Structure 1
Amino acid sequence: MPISLQFQAVAEDVPGEKWRALFERAWPSYRAWFLRSGVAGRPSYLESRRALRTHMPELVPTWERLVELIGGGDVEARFLSLWCPPPYIAGCSQAVWIDPGGHEEPMLLRNYDFAPALLEGNWLATRWVGSRVAAMGDCLWGALDGVNDNGLAASLSFGGRTVSGTGFGIPLVLRYVLETARTTAEAVAILQRVPVHMSYSVTLLDSKADWATVFVNPDRPTEVTRRYAVTNFQNSVEWPEHARATHSRDRLAALQLQIVQPGPAQQAINVLLQEPLYQNAWQRGYGTLYSAVYRPMSGRAELWWPEECWDQSLHSFEEGSRQVILQDRNRL
């Protein structure tokens, strides 16, 4: 059965009525998820505020404004801090592509694989801390992937481990990276000091073509690597069942092969839209919902689907919406 998704591009430099409308639409589902183990199972308001002030102080004024916009509720404030949220697991593939001939600018490529019903679909252009940021939203002010006008692009993928601990949900950490870092080196320094609550891989690319893939975990030191490509495990598969279900090894092999082959940028993008990287397991919660391409040198961002591309620029981000129909092309 075809899957219908709605994406919207929203430009709002300072959080206001547009962001509040997004919150009001999504909050009932997020509230149920956040409180699934009860109110007492989540950190208090004071603990959440202390964590933000300690680890990501530049975000505190924005957090306070967001909380004020929605009425100052205790549960809402605790949720938006993303301090020790409930666990969540996704798929995803990501890679850095650099033209060996130097003719085309470097790109950060990624596929976002997740449950369709849980996608926000909000492509947000903001100036919350000062930098212009265009990012795919999650948890209402976090980021799944994006680029800023300092010339830094970043994306995240699940790291393939079920362990959880004391730390922030990774979408808010990625938001912090995009809001405050100018280079891959600065982003790496942030990821080395900000605690996360689950295992993730973060790929970074800046306008000087410096790049890194960083493995973050709640129970292990942060590891900075020069992996061009990554799927849903870090150094080795530690959750075999998840790796098999999401074809993590097959996706990584296909992505690595494409990255090392000579060819134009479009050829690399096309691989994201083909099996095994493009997955159709939407009913099981890890089908490909969109592919993203970030070009930090020119400040361009693109969302891709098999039959469509949505192109934006940090310098002229245009609001709008797209309805995307996903279907298994093997059954057509």
Structure 2
Amino acid sequence: MGHYVKTFHAIEIGDGADGRCAAHVRSAMAKPEDWLTDEGRTPEGAAQARQLFETHMPELVPVLDRLAEQLKSPQAKTLLTMATVRPFFSGCTQIGHEGTLLRNYDFAPDHCEGIIVSSRFLRPVVGMQEAGWGLLDGMNDAGLAVSLTFGGRFVHGPGFAMPLVLRYLLETCRTVDEAVGGLRTLPVAIPQNVTLVDPDRSVTVHVGPDIPMTEAPDSCAANHQHLPVPDEQERTTRTGPAGRRTGGGNRCLGDAATTVVPARVRPLAGHRVHGPLPPCRRPVTYHWPGEHWEHTIAGFTPGARTVALGLSGDNNDH
């Protein structure tokens, strides 16, 4: 049994006008029909997705149009709204504490695009790309950092896929309070947990298509929310034990040292948003066994890193 090897890329995509972003969108969304719901593949569904985007993310409409003009497929243009996406579920673990956001990707490496992007759509943002122009996590030039995890309940409703919601929050908000306020008004398609950190505050919130936004007691999250899940589902996802391992008030960061950091095959991301450094020089660091890659908004370094993540036979259980 050999090591699993994966190459991660760091790319600059600017404001999306020069084709670099669209090229990666096309690659990530090569088969938009595999991502879209049945409704999203109809003209009526596409129009509804566009209307939802215009209503809730008006600031990003010029960016959406800029990217859509570079895509030939009408379905790909609909997919950019991330408002008619099939539900997808994967695990993560994250902790916010004293200006630091630490998160682990608890899923198979093949399911991670492995692209770290530096963009300047509305403001400078660095993060781990997901679904073309969405983000699994990221930090902006104001020092706001956010990340997501699956909420542990197999529920689906009208709303946005969370990677695009994270993109929107980082593009339009400067603080945790602003971002939490934004989350209260944004419809999301599946249950998700979002951890948000700025130099003064860290918080985790539970969101979903069937619940109001709910603040968690700690700024820690695995793949579990405040609502129970069926026993059969829990036997498969084991979200409860993961949530209990990462929870614990001021003990969160200490618990993370044993629950998150020694990940067997998964990349670990850390966003440090406080301290004497100005926001543009605060680091975003990606960790793998024996290796790390640090970026800042002011000092982003395009390139590639090929890393050995673990044994190829690892089953990637949480």
Say if 1:270 and 1:146 are closer, same or farther in 2 by CA, change over 3 A.
farther
Q: Say how many residue pairs are matched.
A: 306
For structure 2, the 5+ residue unaligned runs are none
Q: State the match for 2:163 in structure 1.
A: 171
Say if 1:38 and 1:46 are closer, same or farther in 2 by CA, change over 3 A.
closer
Contact 2:144 2:174 in 1 (8 A): yes
Q: Which residues of 2 match residues 162-241 of structure 1 at below 5 A?
A: 162-208=154-200, 210-241=201-232
The TM-score with structure 1 as length reference comes to 0.84
Once the 2 structures are TM-superposed, how far is the Cα of residue 323 of structure 1 from its aligned partner? 1.2
Contact 1:79 1:85 in 2 (8 A): yes
Contact 2:103 2:260 in 1 (8 A): yes
Q: State the match for 2:70 in structure 1.
A: 69
Q: State the match for 1:295 in structure 2.
A: 272
Once the 2 structures are TM-superposed, how far is the Cα of residue 198 of structure 1 from its aligned partner? 0.6
Identity of aligned residues (%): 33
| Post-superposition CA distance 1:30-77 (Å, at most 9, x none) | 424224748646863321221111001011111000101223x31111
| Post-superposition CA distance 1:59-107 (Å, at most 9, x none) | 1111000101223x31111111011310100111111123xxxxxxx21
Q: State the match for 2:22 in structure 1.
A: 20
Once the 2 structures are TM-superposed, how far is the Cα of residue 21 of structure 1 from its aligned partner? 2.4
| Post-superposition CA distance 1:195-228 (Å, at most 9, x none) | 00110000001122x1211111101111123422
| Post-superposition CA distance 1:153-202 (Å, at most 9, x none) | 00000001111111011110110001111000000011100100110000
**Is 1:124 paired with 2:117?**
yes
Identify which of 294, 298, 308 aligns with 1:325.
Answer: 308
Q: State the match for 1:141 in structure 2.
A: 133
Say if 1:258 and 1:212 are closer, same or farther in 2 by CA, change over 3 A.
closer
Contact 1:59 1:176 in 2 (8 A): yes
Distance (Å, rounded) in 2 between the aligned partners of 1:118 and 1:111: 14
Counterpart secondary structure, 2:23: helix
Distance (Å, rounded) in 2 between the aligned partners of 1:169 and 1:156: 11
Q: State the match for 2:82 in structure 1.
A: 82
**How much is the aligned-residue C-alpha RMSD, in angstroms?**
2.6
For structure 1, the 5+ residue unaligned runs are 99-105, 281-287
Say if 1:180 and 1:227 are closer, same or farther in 2 by CA, change over 3 A.
same
Q: State the match for 1:47 in structure 2.
A: 48
Once the 2 structures are TM-superposed, how far is the Cα of residue 24 of structure 1 from its aligned partner? 3.1
The TM-score with structure 2 as length reference comes to 0.87
Distance (Å, rounded) in 2 between the aligned partners of 1:329 and 1:305: 15
Once the 2 structures are TM-superposed, how far is the Cα of residue 118 of structure 1 from its aligned partner? 2.5
Q: State the match for 1:91 in structure 2.
A: 91
Counterpart secondary structure, 2:266: strand
Q: State the match for 2:261 in structure 1.
A: 273
Distance (Å, rounded) in 1 between the aligned partners of 2:213 and 2:147: 16
Counterpart secondary structure, 2:86: coil
Once the 2 structures are TM-superposed, how far is the Cα of residue 251 of structure 1 from its aligned partner? 3.2
Say if 1:321 and 1:308 are closer, same or farther in 2 by CA, change over 3 A.
same
Q: State the match for 1:103 in structure 2.
A: none
Counterpart secondary structure, 1:222: strand
